[in-house]
Structure 1
Amino acid sequence: MASTTAPQPQQINVTDLDLPQLADVRRQLEEELTHLTNSFTQLRQAQAKFKACMDNVKQVTPERKDKTILVPLTNSLYVPGKLCDTENVVVDVGTGYYVKKTRAQAVKHYEAKVDYIRTNLEALQDTIAKKQDNMNYLINIMQMKLQEQAAPKAS
């Protein structure tokens, strides 16, 4: 039986590339960095939303039973309502599905989400740092090549 292995990516030493090729690599790295940074920002926002949900669940206490509260219908539209059940909350678990959970289960659910996002943020931050190091190295190579081109013209 013949083994099918994926072709290994060919590695090229960036010092062997000319300036237009280096500029293309730089442009590609900039696009990747922009995409990764945007993803990082979106993950941070999601994490903040889950933390806010956790704080909201913690505010649902037996002392607040039958008190008037503002119920969010959208991000900017709230209506008055009464808190009848302080032991259970409705949790959005994604794609339009809602599940009834106890306050403790809801807090645990949101803590798991926040922890999962934190792990992804740490990995993404490492990736961004490596890409930035690659970018700095590439810029140094480009500057060196520009100086080499300018040196013969100066003499």
Structure 2
Amino acid sequence: MSAPSTATATATPAPQQINVADLELPQLAEVKRQLEEELSHLTSSFAQLKQAQAKFRSCIESAKEVKPENEDKTVLVPLTSSLYVPGKLRDVENVIVDIGTGYYVQKTRAQAVKHYEGKIEYIKTNLDALQETIQKKQDNMSYLVNIIQSKLQHANKRD
């Protein structure tokens, strides 16, 4: 016979909130460094999303340029944003769409435009949320800098 097992639940303690005004200058400097890193990462992510949004807008323009009057004409086909090769348009109703991770599908021009508009809208939603987060972090940074300056002034008055 084995003894019944008893499991003790260990509750994860809730994170403590600390008033930054109570921290010493070296601790404040570390918090400031962490905030700067977070802001740098967030602004970099914001810039990358903006670039992706511009790329999708460019894709929409490319899809709209495929017109029936260009059938069998030699055109420059974009392979990348800076590499174009000559080619002839045989099917002006359909385009090949990069749907990500190296997968391509055939869509009508209207479907391609709708696909890329959806991507742009999704990125816009993320950009809006990211902008709000960046603003909050910048506000936190301003508050932190004010506290550091206040503590430095107070320390200089004692000397």
Q: TM-score, normalised by structure 2?
A: 0.91
Mapped to 2, the partners of 1:131 and 1:2 lie a distance apart of 39
- Cα offset for 1:152? 1.3
1:130 aligns with 2:129: no
In the alignment, structure 2 segments of 5+ residues that lack a partner are: 1-6
Q: Summarize the Cα distance change of 1:26–1:66 in structure 2 as closer, same or farther, 3 Å threshold.
A: same
Larger C-alpha radius of gyration, 1 or 2? Answer: 2
In the alignment, structure 1 segments of 5+ residues that lack a partner are: none
1:140 aligns with 2:146: yes
Q: How many residues align?
A: 153
Q: For 2:45, what is the secondary structure of its paired residue?
A: helix
Moved beyond 4 Å, runs of 4+? 1-6
Q: 1:36-47 to 2 correspondence within 5 Å? A: 36-47=42-53
Q: Please report the RMSD computed on the Cα atoms of aligned residues, expressed in angstroms.
A: 1.5
Structure 1, residues 48-87: CA drift from partner, whole Å, max 9, x if none?
0000001110111111111110122344332211111010
1:54 aligns with 2:75: no
Q: Summarize the Cα distance change of 1:139–1:85 in structure 2 as closer, same or farther, 3 Å threshold.
A: same
Structure 1, residues 84-118: CA drift from partner, whole Å, max 9, x if none?
10100000000110000011110000000000000
Give the share of equivalent positions with the same residue, in percent.
69
Mapped to 2, the partners of 1:134 and 1:126 lie a distance apart of 12
Mapped to 2, the partners of 1:4 and 1:71 lie a distance apart of 61
Amino acid at match of 1:40: F
Q: TM-score, normalised by structure 1?
A: 0.93
